[in-house]
Every structure is written in structure tokens, then in C-alpha cells.
Amino acid sequence: MTTPGRSGGTPRWVPWALLALTLLAACWRFPFLTAQDLWFDEVFSVVLASQDIPELLRRALGDQTNPPGFYLALWAWIHAGGVEEWWIRALPALAGTLTVPLVVLLGRTLGMRWGTALLGGLLATVSPLLVTMSVEVRAYAPLAMLTTGSLLLAVRVRDGQATGRRGAALALAAVDGALVLLHYFGALLVIARVIAAFVDSRDEERDVRRRVRARAMATALPAALLLAAWFVLVLTASTGGTVGGNASWIPAPGAAALLGFGSLVVGTFGSALGAWAVALVLVAATIVAVRRPRGAWLIVPFVLPLLLVLVAGAVTGRSLWVGRYLVVALPAALLLLAESSSQLGGILPRPWRAAPAALLAAWAVAAGGIALFDGPAKPPWSLIVPALAAGGPATVCVNEPYVGLPLQYHAVRARVPVRVAELRECGPESGRAWVMLRPGTEASLAPLRERAARFGEARSLGTELPPVTLQRVEWPRE
């Protein structure tokens, strides 16, 4: 089966353009690997990946936030190159960089012109969500890379000749298995690409339609079995506990969340008007793609994860809407935007046909550049920790071990006498002490108040996921 736009040979300039785009993506990421200190989730990733494999799996089961795929990959990465921050962050940066050429190849596989596919790659290069996740030691940049690879292989399995189909099908099953082991939301992409295959084959002859759908489901089966096995382990390990309690902090989504996700796909210059403009263009691009021959492969992977998250929240009463989780919808969204600019250019007079693509590219690069340098700053833990110990050994009291992870990590790295202890372990014998808490958990200070402890002004450290405050503790004099 021949797909549109793939006749003839590849122009000589295309490999050079693809190489230049990949190098631009690397330059947009690698120089910033050590610009900010590791924060809560990143330290958690490093701590888990520094354990031996049995302990890593045990802690991942206890945490329940993600399956262990990324921690295992980071374990291998650390054993290959050490625990320096630049090396640790190089893993997601590499994944984020490789996502760019994969987006271009996916666009070509879907029949887009080289110019349109390369525009999709440029959007991936500067996308605020992908760039941010590319310098964060979490699963999201690898998730974007494997999402793009899954869609690419799924389309090739759909269209491939018999001689190469088996190898592509095996590769697709492996990629989907890795997806669901990286993050639970990887399953949303697997579901989406199966549904896309069903929709895309609806006009085929009965036998062809049946074979296409059977292959789509068969290649997704290993991922389903892997995820089911992990769920069984989680439920077994959670006997007497609460499953999914770590998601209790996620706020319910609304219109602002939808606008916010659009702002993560393409930069918006930090303005509400820009956010609305991007959201409207995404909606228009989705509508335009309905009439496209391969539109299902873009519409379903973009729209379905968003809808499933909203439905799951409504059914369970527990929100799952976090922008970074929805990175599985990002590659399809970027190609939808690129394709819509091409479609719009096609109806304009010849001198203006490149204008929509040029305008979109200029907007994305300018807004993405601003987002790169104007994003949320992580606390300078490597400065905070020595400051706490400036007057001698100090203790930081926390009501949740997770909250104290960055302090403990950077204190060990800097070799300064700052100890992190749980609140029940804190008292006058702790000496100079501070309390670090998430807002809303101040009730946990009751035992210290019973011991006549006095607290200074709570100062926000400007953190997110979770926000925390730091305040001085003074003990009564004997």
C-alpha cells in the first residue's frame, strides 16, 4: 500500500536538514543540564536508581507513582557513567533530542511532505513541555520518545509488506512494553494507537480490515500483560494500605488546565491571549485533520489521552490531570499543528503559501526561547544547605521523608552537617533546627508545640510538586 507524498526519492537536502534540526535540539537541551539543582522527584529517581535491583523494585512498588522502567534504565545509566548531575540529566536530554527526528519520520510515514514533517520536528525542538522534561531526571522525555516510536512502528505495521512486517510488529510490541513500564500513561498511547488502527481501516475490504485490527491488538497484548502483572504486584504489596494515595494532591482539571496544556505544547509568550491562540489553533488543527487520509493516527493519539484522563477523574473522583503526564499526546499534537499550517497554505495564493508555516515556526521558536529562559526556577538546594549549616550542625525536621529528600541529598554531596529527621525525632536535643513542610500540613507540628517549641516565619522556597516552606524552630531554655 502506497501512502501519499512518498513517491520519488528523498531530496539531497533532507538528510542535512534533519541533521541540523537534531543538532539544534541538542543545543536547546544539553547546555542546560546543570543550570538548576536536582529537585524532589529527580532526587527520588536517583535514590531509587542507586539501589540494587531487588531494593529498587521494592521501593518502586511501595511508591506506586510509576512502574519501574525508568528507574531501571537510570540504574544502568548510572552504572555506565556515574552519578554526576550532568551525566544523570544527559539520559532524558538524549531521549528528548532523539524525539525530534522521530517526529519528522512519523510525519513522513503518515504521508506528509518533507517540509511539513520538518516543521513538526522544529516544533518538537522548541516545545516547552518536551524541553523542560528533557532536562529533568524523570520518565517523561523517554516517554515522549517511545510514544513517537510506537506510532511510527504502528503505521509501518499497518502499511508494511509481508517481508518486513514481522520485524516491525516485534519492535512495536517491545516499544509498547517499554512504554507501560515507563509510566502508567503509556497505556493511554497504546490504547490510542490500537483505536487509530481500527478507525484507519474502516474503509478497507473486510479481510484487510480484519487483519489490520488483529495485528494492532496482537502487538498491544504484551504491553497489556506487563501492565497487568505490575498491577497485581502493586495490589499484593499494598495489602492493608491505600492504592493510588500519591495522586491525592492533583487538583481537578478545568478550562485553565486545557489552556495550560496547549501552552506546554507550544510557547505562548506567557500571556493569556497567547494561550487562547494556541488552544484555538490546536482545536482547528484537529478538525482539519478529520478529512485527512491518515488523520486518525494524529487525532486519536492527541484527543484520546486527554478524554480518558477527564473520564477517569469523573468516574473515580480523583484527578489525574498533570501536564507532564500528558506528554504522550505531544507528538501527535505537534504534527497536527504542522499539518494544519500546510493545509492552510494550500488554499492561499501561491506567493503566500509558505506564510502559515513560517508564522507558526517563528511563533514557536520565539515563544519557546522565552519559555526556556523564563521557566519556573528550582530552589538552589546547593546554596540552601550550606547556609543552614553556617552556624554549625543543623537539623531539618520534616513530617514526610519525601519532603526532605533534596536537603538530605545535597547535604551528603556537599559534606555539610545538615541532618534531616522526622518530626517525632526532633526536640531540644536536636540543637539548631528548622521545620520544612508542605502548606496545609501544619497540624503535624502539634507534638512540637506541646514541647513548647516556637516557630519563626514560614518562608516559601518556591518549589512545586510539592510546594514547601521552611521556618526556624526555637526550643525553650532550660
pLDDT in tens, 147-189: 999 999 999 998 875 556 788 899 999 999 999 999 999 999 9
For residue 101, what are the contacts with CB-CB under 8 A and spacing of at least 6?
Answer: 18, 21, 22, 121
Whether residue 1 lies inside any domain: the answer is no
**232 grid coordinates:** 497485581
**In terms of residue numbers, what domain contains 210?**
13-373
Whether residue 299 lies inside any domain: the answer is yes
Q: Is the Cβ–Cβ distance between 111 and 152 less than 8 Å? A: no
Degrees, nearest 5: CA angle 176-177-183: 85
94 vs 245, residue with greater confidence: 94
Asked if 441 and 357 sit in the same domain, the reply is no
Q: How far apart are CA 167 and CA 172, in angstroms?
A: 9
User: Can you give the pLDDT at residue 236?
Assistant: 84
Q: How far apart are CA 310 and CA 335, in angstroms?
A: 23
Q: Is the Cβ–Cβ distance between 348 and 355 less than 8 Å? A: yes
Q: Rounded to 5 degrees, what are φ and ψ at 474?
A: -120, 130
Asked if 141 and 80 sit in the same domain, the reply is yes
Q: Is the Cβ–Cβ distance between 190 and 176 less than 8 Å? A: yes
User: Can you give the pLDDT at residue 251?
Assistant: 63
Asked if 26 and 169 sit in the same domain, the reply is yes
- From 339, 373, 407, the end of a domain falls on 373
Asked if 399 and 267 sit in the same domain, the reply is no
Query: How far, CA to CA in Å, does 100 sit from each of 164, 192, 266?
Result: 24, 21, 14
Asked if 284 and 206 sit in the same domain, the reply is yes
Whether residue 91 lies inside any domain: the answer is yes
Whether residue 7 lies inside any domain: the answer is no
Q: What is the mean pLDDT of residues 262-281?
A: 92
Q: How far apart are CA 423 and CA 281, in angstroms?
A: 50
Lowest mean pLDDT, pick from 56-70, 75-89, 310-324, 429-443: 310-324
Asked whether residue 190 carries a pLDDT value surpassing 90, the answer given is: yes
Asked whether residue 462 carries a pLDDT value surpassing 90, the answer given is: no
Residue with C-alpha cell 529533568?
Answer: 136
- From 346, 373, 400, the end of a domain falls on 373
For 7-51, the pLDDT digits (tens) are 457 889 999 999 999 999 999 999 999 998 998 889 999 999 999
User: Can you give the pLDDT at residue 130?
Assistant: 96
Q: How far apart are CA 190 and CA 196, in angstroms?
A: 10
- Closest listed residue to residue 354, CA positions, set 10, 119, 121, 125: 119
Query: How far, CA to CA in Å, does 313 sit from each of 231, 318, 322?
Result: 19, 5, 12
What 3-state class would DSSP assign to 28? coil
For 273-323, the pLDDT digits (tens) are 999 999 999 999 999 899 888 899 999 999 999 998 888 777 777 677 788
- Closest listed residue to residue 296, CA positions, set 214, 368, 195: 195
Q: Output the average pLDDT for the chain.
A: 88
User: Can you give the pLDDT at residue 3?
Assistant: 47
Whether residue 60 lies inside any domain: the answer is yes
For residue 13, what are the contacts with CB-CB under 8 A and spacing of at least 6?
Answer: none
State percent of the chain over pLDDT 70.
Answer: 92
Asked if 352 and 395 sit in the same domain, the reply is no
Whether residue 99 lies inside any domain: the answer is yes
Whether residue 430 lies inside any domain: the answer is yes
Structural domains in the chain (count): 2
Asked if 355 and 420 sit in the same domain, the reply is no
Count of other CB atoms within 10 angstroms of residue 425: 12
Tell me the sheet residues that pair with 185. none
- From 355, 373, 391, the end of a domain falls on 373
Asked if 266 and 389 sit in the same domain, the reply is no
User: What DSSP character marks residue 4?
Assistant: T
What 3-state class would DSSP assign to 55? helix
Q: How far apart are CA 68 and CA 277, in angstroms?
A: 38
How deeply is 332 buried, as exposed, middle or buried, from its count of CB atoms within 10 A (0-12, 13-18, 19+)?
A: buried
Rg, Å, the chain Cα set: 24
Asked if 270 and 395 sit in the same domain, the reply is no
Asked if 369 and 385 sit in the same domain, the reply is no
User: Can you give the pLDDT at residue 5?
Assistant: 45
Q: Is the Cβ–Cβ distance between 64 and 246 less than 8 Å? A: yes
Q: Is the Cβ–Cβ distance between 305 and 186 less than 8 Å? A: no
Tell me the sheet residues that pair with 473. 433, 455
For 366-414, the pLDDT digits (tens) are 999 999 888 777 788 888 888 888 878 888 888 888 788 888 898 888 8
Asked if 362 and 393 sit in the same domain, the reply is no
Asked if 104 and 223 sit in the same domain, the reply is yes
Whether residue 4 lies inside any domain: the answer is no
Q: Is the Cβ–Cβ distance between 465 and 41 less than 8 Å? A: yes
Q: Give the confidence band of 255 by pLDDT, cuts at 50, 70, 90.
A: low
Exposure string for 376-391, b = 16+ CB within 10 A, e = fewer: eebbebbebbeebbee
